[in-house]
Structure 1
Amino acid sequence: MARPNRCEVISPDESCIVHVVSRVVRRCYLLGDDPLTGKNYDHRKEWIETLLQHQAKHFGIDLLCFSLMSSHFHLVLKSQPEIVVTWTSR
């Protein structure tokens, strides 16, 4: 059975809190030591944190909390429709 489209579950006019999970592809590593290549990717953590906060501000959402792991990440986001309605198309 197919799951419903997000637009059918989440209303853009109501504030809601969602849990988002995303995995990296091809068994790559987002952070930490990659056992296959021996490279360390810890330098990405600060960059990802800054990027998440920047994107949240520009997309009208609150980044309530997040967890960055070597192969995936979790985000808890809250939509802010009351802020988005004040935006203009300019």
Structure 2
Amino acid sequence: MPQSRKSQISLIDTPYYHCVSRCVRQSFLCGTNTLTGQSFEHRRGWVEERLLFLSTVFAIDICAYAVMSNHTHVVLCVDKALADKWDTESVLKRYHTLHKGTLLTQKFINGDTLTQGELITLDDTVEIYRKRLYNISWFMRDLNEYIARQANKEDDCTGRFWEGRFKSQALLDESAVLACMAYVDLNPISKINKTPIIKMVNFHP
């Protein structure tokens, strides 16, 4: 029986995770369709730019990533201690770069005066947002939903672009992290995509 996402991700055991997302409906993440000759190479830039942007918002480092013709590999390291240091304003500004937030969080950022009751509610909301900003599921959601919307708009279609949710594998020790990073670096190149983007950055053993 498949494990729930919650049981697959335990920061007590390790901050390192290997995440894989795969396309459906014979979609092209990048590469060239040999039947039509249409090139999707520019979509590599979408993924790379989005990944690097999200790493500036979340308390999650990118150790390595590879963008293939129909899937992505990302090795992530969660820095919960960093998120715990952020004050209310930092949490809200980061979260608002990706999501609208609530009327209360918008009022606080705008400098409006809040009642004592509103401040209590705000504190609870900030803690929810803080947890999301070091949550791998939210990181991958903000990556994959963005790419799916861009691709569907370009393809003039609706529906799923990714094959369900991403798959996650915990990397429990330094040797597992290094082996996974090497795997991502040497990931087999598909017949369609002969020039994958592969990066290895920010490894903290």
Shorter-chain TM range is: 0.7 to 0.9
Determine whether 1:71 maps to 2:67. Answer: no
Counterpart CA distance in 2 for 1:85 and 1:13 is 15
CA shift digits 1:61-85 (9 cap, x unpaired): 0011100000111000000101111
| 1:36-76 superposed Cα distances (whole Å, 9 cap, x missing partner) | 43210111212321110111221210011100000111000
TM-score (norm 1): 0.83
The answer (yes or no) to whether the contact 1:30–1:69 under 8 Å persists in 2 is yes
Unmatched tracts of structure 2, length 5 or more: 93-205
Aligned length: 89
**Which is richer in helix?**
2
Deviation at 1:11?
A: 3.4
Q: Report the Cα distance in structure 2 between the residues aligned to 1:50 and 1:75, rounded to whole angstroms.
A: 14
Return the alpha-carbon distance in structure 2 between the equivalents of residues 36 and 80 of structure 1.
44
Bigger radius of gyration: 2
1:69 to 1:9, Cα distance in 2 relative to 1, 3 A: closer
1:41 maps to a residue whose letter is F
Contact 1:23–1:73 (CA<8 Å) still a contact in 2? yes
User: 2:84, 2:14 → 1: CA distance?
Assistant: 12
Q: Which has the higher strand share?
A: 1
- In 2, distance between residues paired with 1:73 and 1:7? 21
In the alignment, the residues of structure 1 paired with residue 14 and residue 2 of structure 2 have an alpha-carbon distance, to the nearest angstrom, of: 25
Describe how 1:1-90 pairs up with structure 2 within 5 A. Answer: 1-3=1-3, 5-12=4-11, 16-87=15-86, 88=88, 89-90=91-92
Q: Confirm or deny: 8 A CA contact 1:15 1:80 kept in the other structure.
A: no
Stretches (4+) displaced over 4 A: 12-15
Give the superposed CA RMSD.
1.9
Amino acid of the structure 1 residue aligned with 2:38: K
List runs of 5+ in structure 1 lacking aligned partners: none
After TM superposition, the score normalised by the length of structure 2 is: 0.39
Counterparts of 2:64 and 2:71 in 1: how far apart (Å)?
15
Equivalents in 1 of 2:80, 2:13: separation in Å? 6
Equivalents in 2 of 1:11, 1:20: separation in Å?
Answer: 14
The residue type equivalent to 1:2 in the other structure is: P
Instruction: Report percent identity of matched pairs.
Output: 35
